[in-house]
Amino acid sequence: MSAYAAYAHVWRTTSISEMPALLHAGLDHANNEHYSATHSSPPNPQQLRMEKARRLA
Protein backbone atom coordinates (compact mmCIF):
# COMPACT_ATOMS: atom_id res chain seq x y z
CA MET A 1 0.00 0.00 0.00
CA SER A 2 1.43 3.32 -0.98
CA ALA A 3 1.84 6.06 1.57
CA TYR A 4 -0.90 8.03 -0.16
CA ALA A 5 -3.31 5.07 -0.09
CA ALA A 6 -2.57 4.49 3.59
CA TYR A 7 -3.15 8.17 4.36
CA ALA A 8 -6.39 8.20 2.37
CA HIS A 9 -7.61 5.09 4.20
CA VAL A 10 -6.87 6.64 7.59
CA TRP A 11 -8.52 9.89 6.52
CA ARG A 12 -11.71 8.08 5.47
CA THR A 13 -11.91 5.88 8.57
CA THR A 14 -10.89 8.37 11.28
CA SER A 15 -12.87 11.11 12.97
CA ILE A 16 -11.34 14.56 12.71
CA SER A 17 -10.76 14.72 16.48
CA GLU A 18 -8.44 11.70 16.27
CA MET A 19 -6.27 13.03 13.45
CA PRO A 20 -3.69 15.10 15.42
CA ALA A 21 -2.74 12.14 17.61
CA LEU A 22 -2.47 9.83 14.59
CA LEU A 23 -0.35 12.32 12.67
CA HIS A 24 1.99 12.71 15.64
CA ALA A 25 2.22 8.93 15.99
CA GLY A 26 3.08 8.66 12.29
CA LEU A 27 5.74 11.34 12.56
CA ASP A 28 7.21 9.66 15.64
CA HIS A 29 7.31 6.35 13.77
CA ALA A 30 8.98 7.94 10.74
CA ASN A 31 11.52 9.69 12.96
CA ASN A 32 12.26 6.44 14.79
CA GLU A 33 12.71 4.59 11.48
CA HIS A 34 15.08 7.30 10.25
CA TYR A 35 17.03 7.31 13.51
CA SER A 36 17.40 3.54 13.54
CA ALA A 37 18.56 3.63 9.91
CA THR A 38 21.22 6.27 10.61
CA HIS A 39 22.40 5.36 14.12
CA SER A 40 23.67 2.10 15.49
CA SER A 41 21.96 1.21 18.73
CA PRO A 42 21.46 -2.03 20.61
CA PRO A 43 18.35 -3.93 19.49
CA ASN A 44 15.19 -3.47 21.52
CA PRO A 45 14.34 -6.87 23.09
CA GLN A 46 10.59 -6.25 22.98
CA GLN A 47 10.77 -5.31 19.31
CA LEU A 48 12.83 -8.42 18.56
CA ARG A 49 10.23 -10.61 20.29
CA MET A 50 7.43 -8.97 18.31
CA GLU A 51 9.28 -9.46 15.02
CA LYS A 52 9.98 -13.11 15.86
CA ALA A 53 6.31 -13.68 16.73
CA ARG A 54 5.27 -11.99 13.48
CA ARG A 55 7.59 -14.25 11.46
CA LEU A 56 6.29 -17.37 13.18
CA ALA A 57 2.62 -16.41 12.75
DSSP calls for 4-21: HHHHHHHHHHS-GGGHHH
Biggest CA-to-CA distance, the chain: 38
More confident call, 56 vs 45: 56
* H-helix or E-strand spanning residue 56: helix 45-56
In this predicted structure, what is the pLDDT of residue 8?
Answer: 79
**Residues 10/22, Cβ–Cβ less than 8 Å:** yes
More confident call, 50 vs 21: 50
More confident call, 33 vs 53: 53
> What would the pLDDT profile of 3-40 be if each residue is shown by its tens digit?
778 777 877 776 666 667 766 776 666 666 666 666 66
